[in-house]
Amino acid sequence: MNLLKISRKYHRYLMLFLGVQFVIWTVSGAYMVIFDIDYIHGDTLVHNHQTKIAPDDVHYSLTQLIQTYPKAEQLELGMLIDKPVYRFKQGDEQHMLDAGTGAMLSPLPKAYAQAIAQHEYTGTGNIALIELITDNPPFELSGRHLPAWRVNFNDFGSPSLYISALTGKVVTKRHEFWRTFDLMFSLHVMDYEEEDPSNWLLFWFVCFALLACLFGLILTYYRIFKDDAVKPTAQGSSGQNEGVSS
Amino acid sequence: MNSNVMGKIKFLHKWLSLLVGIQLLLWIGTGLYFNLMDSQKARGTQYLAKSAPVSVDDTDKPAQIEPATLLNSFKPAVSLSQVTLLDKPYYLLTYDRALYPYFKNHYTLIDAITGKQVMIDQTMAKGLAVNSYKGPGIITSASRVSPPFDERLKEKNTLWRVNFDDEINTSVYIDAGSGRLVGHSNDDKRIVDIAFMLHFMDYTNEGSFNNVQIIVFAIFTLFFAFTGFIWTIELGLNGQYSLTQLLPKRLIKKQNNTIQVIDIDGQQLRHVSIPAHENLLDGLIHQDIALPSSCGGGGSCGRCRVKLKPEAKITACDNQQFTQDELNLGYRLACQHTSDEVDSLSLLDITQAEKHQLELISSEFISPFIKELRFKTVSSKPITFKAGAFMRFFIPAASSHSLPVALPESLSSHWNEIESHQFTHDSCSRNYSLANSDHALPDAENELHFTIKLQQAPKFAISQVINPGVGSHYICNLQPGDRIEAAGPFEEFSAQPISKRSMVLIGAGSGMAPLKSLIEEQLVKLKSTRPIHLFFGARSEADLIYQERFTTLAIEHKHFFYYPVLSRPTGLFNGSNPTSISITNHDASAHSRVNSGPTQGYVQDRLAAQLDEISKQAEGLANVEFYLCGPKPMMTSTIEQLKARGVKESAIAFDSFV
């Protein structure tokens, strides 16, 4: 059997087993490259307001804060919609104070979370659902963001904004395109649980895919570049491929 | 599935493979790399120190400036945050906050005690870098660099790059505006970066897999995968996958199907036994019935034609290679059907292509590089064939010599330039055209004649010795009485159905065999009286093979015309002007018929000069059949010439060789 025949046979048989995965790889790969990653991340779902702090609204001083919360760390003065707030950590606890009055704002009630979501959301849809998640986060939300409000909108792509109940910040934004992307990635790396590319299933598929691809390239070479040489004609009096054969 | 659609799918798959094949290999190769790589190393964090929480002693803590006071002395900001850099407190004022730290941010760093703006200088950058570093190296350089960064493709802020002299060349990146530790990079990560660059086709370092080239390739690859997938399904539906093909032969219980083989005339030849599931092309070869095939069973060359029952299933390849009428008659490709499907089949293109043992009767030089070989079958059973047929010789692995054995003294001068060396070769098969006609000569009945050129190694080989043609050297060095195996006859280049139309045969070099065979078949076997014109070109007198034979035939047969042409004559024209001998008119043609002396030039030119006369004689070129055999340039220019004269393609039969 010559190389052409061997290549054709093994290319066919390998693809009998790998073909579905090749389709999956190309479909998921195409999805991931065609959709802009910033869009997938949901960057277009939020305004990212740049409301500036008015120093005159800050009546509660840092000195007062330290007196009440002597262990305050990683302090930040920022805005919550239109109100200056202090966000800081004390021990393992995250807190948020009204910088005008010194009143404790965290954890945020539902109405506040709703107001923040509507303020940040760029779409026109109505809120479909608001729920507080304190444990067992859905796959699309990291556990370190808990507790958080999930705010679902009635809109194209079923967008969800996740708002930290402790900081009032939009910690995660998701829509169907992200969820599909996530599925595509797990299909692409063949790990449907942890989405880790280092798994044995992927290893064996990739090894055989490499072989199948090499056989395919040999076929391409023969069918496209060596087609003349493969095609024997009744030779005048010289043999086919005569001359340089050894 | 519709065969036309299937043909297009295969066509697409073939050409897309050329377009995306290499990138696909890169994708899979880098994919394997990502699968195997150490993800710890891939992050470039080998020498990244975990930042211990800084516990500031309250008693020592100097009072920080009130945020509200500070805000009044700077531009309006969206946030003010405490940061600790090298154990000192700072405020970071952010004027415009991007969604991610690596997007372009606008901020000012302020000393939290003095309230003064702080610029991160080289010393501070080095300090921050050392703080994040736990490796053995020391700093070799620190420089302020602007985006884009090869190692931090997404980063859009100005950074400090601090290089360490450890064994993996760690670089630490610090945000020049905020003092934020952007990250570490090292040689391990740089390799990973290259793999990502290849996998994402990010050849312009955009730091993104949403670039134009990968989108275009992804779409092409999508089509590539789908066409391949459909092809695989089609193969499966046609029963092209079987366990027996995949497993070693000895593991499979031998089971054979018996098939009746009928020859072209409807005569029952014999029963053959072919292993179950094996395709008919491969099965018949083991039964000494060698069908022609150039693609080796891929269904793409369309040569292994057989006739099955009309109701035999029709594969996409059958659909492409046959007309609807042929399919209705049961014409199919042998490689596309297995022994399980049929219990009888008819051979089509061949009368009796099977393996024969041939014995060499004689082997003579008829020019310095061409030998005439005469064989007979060992069984003495005659082989019948049409003119233009060829035999496939099975050349065994052997040792051979670049110079032929028994070279006559008179020819040795032609072989002076050939370097003498011994070489060995593997077994192979070679096709050689028959040069005679069956039952042609009374004294050579049942003989098979071949004119075979001893192929030389290419001249360009200077540094290394390249072996000459192994097939021609093996077969030309056989001694009378030696035996060799051959399959055939295969008939592809044969005369059109017998008619009264004129035949014009054009050949050059060693493309003589099929033309000579056609002439002998017409003149001797069929005793045809149709006009036959042979134009034959050679280099010099010594290369003009069979001159005597054709001259004799031209004298014996008034309707046979012989026009030998020499491109580089050596002695014949000495002392006379060659052009004066060139024959361009009718009178001279008559002269040539009797004399058959060679003229100087190329066959194409001689043909051009003669074509009007031939056309007149045949009452129009539409009544002339053309048969061509010779080197490619000669064939191409002749075909062009004939087409320019309005000769239909169907009236030109040609047979090219290298």
> Residue A239 and residue B224: Cβ atoms within 8 Å?
no
Distance, in Å, from the CA atom of A127 to the CA atom of A115, rounded to the nearest integer, reads: 11
Closest by CA position to B653, among listed B434, B387, B295: B387
Q: How many independent structural domains does chain B possess?
A: 5
B149 located within any domain: yes
Residue found under tokens 């000494």: B288
Q: What is the ipTM of this complex?
A: 0.82
Looking at the fold, whether B387 and B486 belong to one and the same domain comes out as: yes
Looking at the fold, whether B263 and B232 belong to one and the same domain comes out as: no
Q: How many independent structural domains does chain A possess?
A: 2
Looking at the fold, whether A50 and A169 belong to one and the same domain comes out as: yes
- In this predicted structure, which of A144-153, B192-201, B388-397 has the lowest mean pLDDT? B388-397
Looking at the fold, whether A56 and A165 belong to one and the same domain comes out as: yes
Looking at the fold, whether A98 and A159 belong to one and the same domain comes out as: yes
A107 located within any domain: yes
Question: Which residues 57-76 on chain A approach chain B with CB closer than 8 angstroms?
Answer: 58, 61-63, 70, 73-76
Closest alpha carbon within chain A to B37:
A198
Residue/partner pairs of B58-64 with CB below 8 Å, 24 or more apart: B58/A70, B62/B113, B63/A63, B63/B113, B64/A62, B64/B89, B64/B91, B64/B112, B64/B113
> Residue A239 and residue B432: Cβ atoms within 8 Å?
yes
- Residue A231: the pLDDT is 37
A158 located within any domain: yes
The confidence band for B657, taking pLDDT boundaries of 50, 70 and 90, is very low
Which CATH number is B598's domain given?
3.40.50.80
Integer CA distances (angstroms), B214 to B148, B193, B228, B385, in order: 21, 17, 20, 58
- Residue B595: the pLDDT is 53
- Residue A150: the pLDDT is 92
Looking at the fold, whether A144 and A31 belong to one and the same domain comes out as: no
Average pLDDT of the residues of chain A = 83
Distance, in Å, from the CA atom of A146 to the CA atom of A162, rounded to the nearest integer, reads: 10
Residues of chain B positioned with their CB less than 8 A from the CB of A18: none
- Residue of B100, B232, B492, B628 for testing the chain A interface, max A β-carbons within 10 Å: B232
Residue/partner pairs of B99-107 with CB below 8 Å, 24 or more apart: B99/A43, B99/A46, B99/A48, B101/B175, B101/B180, B102/B152, B102/B154, B102/B155, B102/B156, B102/B157, B102/B182, B103/B156, B104/B156, B104/B157, B105/B157, B105/B177, B105/B178, B107/B177, B107/B178
Of B77, B298, B657, which has the smallest distance from its Cβ to A52's Cβ? B77
- The answer to whether residue B268 scores a pLDDT higher than 80 is no
Looking at the fold, whether B441 and B507 belong to one and the same domain comes out as: no
Distance from CA of A125 to the nearest CA of B (A): 22
Looking at the fold, whether A125 and A52 belong to one and the same domain comes out as: yes
Looking at the fold, whether B554 and B631 belong to one and the same domain comes out as: yes
Closest by CA position to B218, among listed A188, A66, A167, A67: A188
- In this predicted structure, which of A83-97, A229-243, B83-97, B258-272 has the lowest mean pLDDT? A229-243
Of B226, B428, B492, which has the smallest distance from its Cβ to A245's Cβ? B428
Distance from CA of B611 to the nearest CA of A (A): 24
B467 located within any domain: yes
End position of a domain, from candidates A174, A205, A238: A174
Averaged over B258-278, what is the pLDDT? Answer: 76
Q: CA B649 from chain center: how many Å?
A: 27
φ, ψ of residue B412 in degrees (nearest 5): -60, -30
Looking at the fold, whether B329 and B377 belong to one and the same domain comes out as: no
B644 located within any domain: yes
B192 located within any domain: no
B56 located within any domain: no
Looking at the fold, whether B626 and B515 belong to one and the same domain comes out as: yes
Averaged over A105-123, what is the pLDDT? Answer: 88
A245 located within any domain: no
Looking at the fold, whether B149 and B210 belong to one and the same domain comes out as: no
User: Domain residues for A80?
Assistant: 43-174
Tell me the pLDDT tens digit for each residue of B433-489: 888 887 656 666 778 889 888 887 765 544 455 677 778 888 888 888 899 988 777
Looking at the fold, whether A169 and A67 belong to one and the same domain comes out as: yes
Closest by CA position to A238, among listed B453, B449, B310: B453
B397 touches chain A (CB under 8 A): no
Distance, in Å, from the CA atom of A199 to the CA atom of A207, rounded to the nearest integer, reads: 12
CB contacts < 8 A, A to B, total 269
> Residue A63 and residue B509: Cβ atoms within 8 Å?
no
- The answer to whether residue B656 scores a pLDDT higher than 60 is no
- Residue B246: the pLDDT is 65
A224 touches chain B (CB under 8 A): yes
Entry field: residues in chain B = 658
Residues of chain B positioned with their CB less than 8 A from the CB of A74: 81-82
Looking at the fold, whether A168 and A47 belong to one and the same domain comes out as: yes
B297 touches chain A (CB under 8 A): yes
- Residue of B80, B466, B635 for testing the chain A interface, max A β-carbons within 10 Å: B80
- Residue A210: the pLDDT is 92
Of A50, A61, A236, which has the smallest distance from its Cβ to B97's Cβ? A50
Closest by CA position to B366, among listed B448, B469, B515, B476: B476
Of A16, A61, A234, which has the smallest distance from its Cβ to B492's Cβ? A234
Looking at the fold, whether A197 and A165 belong to one and the same domain comes out as: no
Looking at the fold, whether B530 and B433 belong to one and the same domain comes out as: no
Which CATH number is B341's domain given?
3.10.20.30
A144 located within any domain: yes
Residues of chain A positioned with their CB less than 8 A from the CB of B468: 243
B533 located within any domain: yes
The confidence band for A228, taking pLDDT boundaries of 50, 70 and 90, is very low
Distance, in Å, from the CA atom of A18 to the CA atom of A214, rounded to the nearest integer, reads: 14
A27 touches chain B (CB under 8 A): yes
- The answer to whether residue B36 scores a pLDDT higher than 90 is no
> Residue B225 and residue A22: Cβ atoms within 8 Å?
yes
Of B29, B76, B435, which has the smallest distance from its Cβ to A210's Cβ? B29
Of B67, B295, B300, which has the smallest distance from its Cβ to A77's Cβ? B67
> Residue A22 and residue B493: Cβ atoms within 8 Å?
no
A242 located within any domain: no
Averaged over B567-581, what is the pLDDT? Answer: 53
Distance, in Å, from the CA atom of A159 to the CA atom of B213, rounded to the nearest integer, reads: 30
Of B28, B58, B300, which has the smallest distance from its Cβ to A210's Cβ? B28
A26 touches chain B (CB under 8 A): yes
- Residue, of B256 and B15, whose pLDDT is higher: B15
- Residue B383: the pLDDT is 82
Residue B42: partners with Cβ closer than 8 Å, 6 or more residues away: B188, B189, B192
Looking at the fold, whether A74 and A137 belong to one and the same domain comes out as: yes
Looking at the fold, whether B575 and B632 belong to one and the same domain comes out as: yes
Looking at the fold, whether A191 and A136 belong to one and the same domain comes out as: no
- Residue of A39, A87, A237, A246 for testing the chain B interface, max B β-carbons within 10 Å: A237
Average pLDDT of the residues of chain B = 80
Question: Which residues 55-94 on chain B approach chain A with CB closer than 8 angstroms?
Answer: 58, 63-64, 66-69, 71-72, 76-82
- Residue, of B218 and B632, whose pLDDT is higher: B218
Identify the helix (H) or strand (E) that includes residue A112. Answer: helix A110-120
Is residue A70 reached through a cis peptide bond, with omega within 30 degrees of 0 on the bond before it?
A: no
- Residue B375: the pLDDT is 92
CB-count exposure of residue B20 (10 Å: 0-12, 13-18, 19+): buried
Identify the helix (H) or strand (E) that includes residue B260. Answer: strand B256-262
B374 located within any domain: yes
- Residue B582: the pLDDT is 38
- Residue B655: the pLDDT is 67
- Residue, of B579 and A171, whose pLDDT is higher: A171
* Token digits of residue A115: 């107001």
Residues of chain A positioned with their CB less than 8 A from the CB of B208: 37
Distance, in Å, from the CA atom of B599 to the CA atom of B610, rounded to the nearest integer, reads: 13
- The answer to whether residue B594 scores a pLDDT higher than 80 is no
Looking at the fold, whether B544 and B638 belong to one and the same domain comes out as: yes
CB-count exposure of residue B25 (10 Å: 0-12, 13-18, 19+): middle
* Token digits of residue B446: 């049942």
**CB neighbours (10 Å) of residue B276?**
16
B58 located within any domain: no
- Residue B388: the pLDDT is 80
* Token digits of residue A105: 């704002």
Looking at the fold, whether B486 and B406 belong to one and the same domain comes out as: yes
A192 located within any domain: yes
- The answer to whether residue B358 scores a pLDDT higher than 50 is yes
**Amino acid in position B147:** P
- Residue B51: the pLDDT is 67
* Token digits of residue B157: 């802020």
φ, ψ of residue B537 in degrees (nearest 5): -105, 140
- The answer to whether residue A245 scores a pLDDT higher than 60 is no
* Token digits of residue B530: 């149709």
A238 located within any domain: no
Distance from CA of B14 to the nearest CA of A (A): 7
A231 located within any domain: no
The confidence band for B592, taking pLDDT boundaries of 50, 70 and 90, is very low
B431 touches chain A (CB under 8 A): yes
Looking at the fold, whether B466 and B573 belong to one and the same domain comes out as: no
- The answer to whether residue A237 scores a pLDDT higher than 70 is no
Looking at the fold, whether A16 and A85 belong to one and the same domain comes out as: no
Looking at the fold, whether A15 and A136 belong to one and the same domain comes out as: no
> Residue A76 and residue B657: Cβ atoms within 8 Å?
no
A231 touches chain B (CB under 8 A): yes
Residues of chain A positioned with their CB less than 8 A from the CB of B656: 233
Of A61, A70, A78, which has the smallest distance from its Cβ to B78's Cβ? A78
User: Domain residues for B371?
Assistant: 354-490
Tell me the pLDDT tens digit for each residue of A159-210: 999 999 899 889 999 999 999 998 999 889 888 777 677 788 888 999 999 9
What whole-number percentage of chain B has pLDDT above 70? 85
Closest alpha carbon within chain B to A204:
B32
Question: Which residues 35-54 on chain A approach chain B with CB closer than 8 angstroms?
Answer: 35-37, 43, 46, 48, 50-54
Which residues face B370 on adjacent strands?
B453
Closest alpha carbon within chain B to A39:
B210
